Amino acid sequence: MMASSVLSECCGIRPLPAYFSRPKSRLQPPRRSLPCPAVRGMDFRRQICLGGRAPQRDWALRVSAPLRVATVEEEREGGEVSGKRVNGCEGEEPEFDPGMPPPFGLAEIRAAIPKHCWVKDSWKSMSYVVRDVVAVFGLAAAAAYLNNWMVWPLYWAAQGTMFWALFVLGHDCGHGSFSSNPKLNSVVGHLLHSSILVPYHGWRISHRTHHQNHGHVENDESWHPIPEKLYRSLDSATRILRFTLPFPMLAYPLYLWTRSPGKKGSHFHPGSDLFLPNERKDVITSTACWSAMLVALAGLTWKFGLVPMIKLYGIPYWIFVMWLDFVTYLHHHGHDEKLPWYRGKAWSYLRGGLTTLDRDYGWINNIHHDIGTHVIHHLFPQIPHYHLVEATEAARPVLGKYYREPEKSGPFPFHLFGVLAKSLRDNRYVGDTGDVVYYQNDSQMNSFSQKNSD
């Protein structure tokens, strides 16, 4: 019943158009462009047009990439910011400033990536689903059979990580990078995400907003900075929950219901301002699938008991939540040198995407489908996960210093715990004004206040 509902709501979804094909020359941007102007910010998703009219089912397009890829010349436009030249004085090596517009465009990055990296193989993608699902059921069967308290902690860590791997595959479905078949993306995405209590379409749409506004102070959707005025207004309990471990790593379920401070809406409610009117049916479908999974878990709990279900599903679910918050936070925070966030005309899709970070997770890289190769994923989310490493290597010469080499991990990424703790301590808020801003901490706020009072 649930599968048929998912299939029916997918009818009419169109595949990605040819506007995103790789240019034939590195020296020339794509000649073909959409007949509508490029737009930015939160209104981006409200001004979609193809041939002068808005399609009814264009989510696969809108979540995958910006509708119109800026040319090299457009990305270079405004080469002077705050009186500084992008390339410095002639004959002089300028000091690298990550907040300056890059001397390259999306077209140049795209041209450096091999053509086969853009190819989506449905069978290969499904093989990863089969691998992960077999691992999930195999772990659960083994843990239930052994039923030993020496085994359960190992099971929780392993199963929570596999739940996170399922989420990443559903995430690829949401981007359309899983397959060129939108119906397959939607069916697999619903099955994977509903199994770990994620509302597929509700999350997909808000994640689209994140990608289309990455690096923008006001318009970004997840783990975006808090302006100083809002930060000052937070009560002590809210500050503790947001900036003191382990609470930020348990935030995802709450975010699904209430979003971040300063934003409103629910991923489950079709009337939320997260969604357009023609997306409400999608949200209802996903909420129904999520509810069906909740009912199924309640039935299993009634049959097998509360404690067995907590051990088999409940604790792995919270391990998955911690993985999700941990990874998504560190892809946008915690670099040794603070990275810029943008407002107004200083923001562009390219500049915002270049503030993301790659991370190395050791043995976990393969398990969670190389989601740590995040820079190229943010710029071109239509690239399948199994091509991200190769695409990143090909693009690195173009990105230059705008690509931050991730610290190499041992078998397990224990080094990232220190990075996380330091970032939560230092990255508290940004200024209320300014088009290019950087995170500050409480001591900087106190020093500034003391200076003004003197």
> Sign (positive/negative) of CA torsion 268, 274, 277, 278?
negative
Confidence at residue 264, expressed as pLDDT on a 0 to 100 scale: 84
> How much is the CA Rg of the chain, to the nearest whole Å?
22
Residue type, 4: S
214 within some domain: yes
> Does residue 422 belong to any structural domain of this protein?
yes
Q: Which two tokens stand for residue 118?
A: 């853009």
Name which of 123, 108, 135, 187 is nearest 366 in CA terms: 135
Cα dist from 422 to 293, 385, 419, whole Å? 37, 29, 5
Question: What pTM value is reported for the model?
Answer: 0.79
Q: What is residue 273's predicted lDDT score, i.e. its pLDDT?
A: 86
What domain count does the chain have? 1
Q: Each residue of 381-426: pLDDT tens digit?
A: 999 999 999 999 999 999 999 999 999 999 999 999 999 999 999 9
DSSP 344: G
The answer to whether residue 313 is domain-embedded is yes
pLDDT of residue 123: 97
The pair of structure tokens assigned to 138 is 């195999």
pLDDT for 369: 97
Instruction: Say if 288 falls within a structural domain.
Output: yes
Is 91 inside a domain boundary?
no
Question: What is the domain extent for residue 145?
Answer: 121-443
Q: Residue 183, exposed/middle/buried by CB under 10 A (0-12, 13-18, 19+)?
A: middle
In a domain, residue 115? The reply is no
Whether 15 is covered by a domain: the verdict is: no
The reply to whether 431 falls in a domain is yes
Rounded Cα distance between 78 and 104, Å, is 13
pLDDT given for residue 263 in this prediction: 81
Residues of the chain with pLDDT under 50: 1-89, 445-454
